[in-house]
Structure 1
Amino acid sequence: MKYVKQDSIIYSDSFSSYSTIKEYFSIHKKVNHSLHFVDPVTRVHTNTIEGNWNGIKLTLPLRKRTKKLIGLQLIRFMIKRENPEDFLDKLLSYLK
């Protein structure tokens, strides 16, 4: 995978498209949403990423969701979410 380290822990639901993830990453933890939204044993869930993606979609117009712009828009979203009061200062500190 181009942007994710091979030793990353991947969390997903049990959607069939994710069945080959274990071929690329050493640890793949999943939750079966037909049984639970949070696995009662492993505590695995996808609520965080689903909430973040929903927040991105609410704040990012469709016309800015292009391959060319999405990286910058995701960085902007993450910095602004973590630093709502001093977004510009924090952004500039990362650019130094």
Structure 2
Amino acid sequence: MTTMDEPEWDQETRDLALAHAQVDLCPSCGGPAYLCQDPELQDSWRVPAPTRCHRSTALLQAQLKVTEKTNPQVGALLWSTVLADDAVRRG
């Protein structure tokens, strides 16, 4: 006897996903074009203060120390980051 699993998405969820996929997106910011390109909203946008990604900061600082002179073909290096063991204990 064969049984059919319950579908992962019901009709309402599929309809919402299709509607979302059909929204025109702005090629610049990726947001809905009807919002970000509306002239009446041009003065309504605010930019909050940035937050810093300390992981990215550490990576960029390490990359600045490496040059073609110290490490030929620097563009071929694969970079990663790891959290220090003592940082886990502090958290």
Q: TM-score, normalised by structure 2?
A: 0.27
Name the structure with the higher helix share: 1
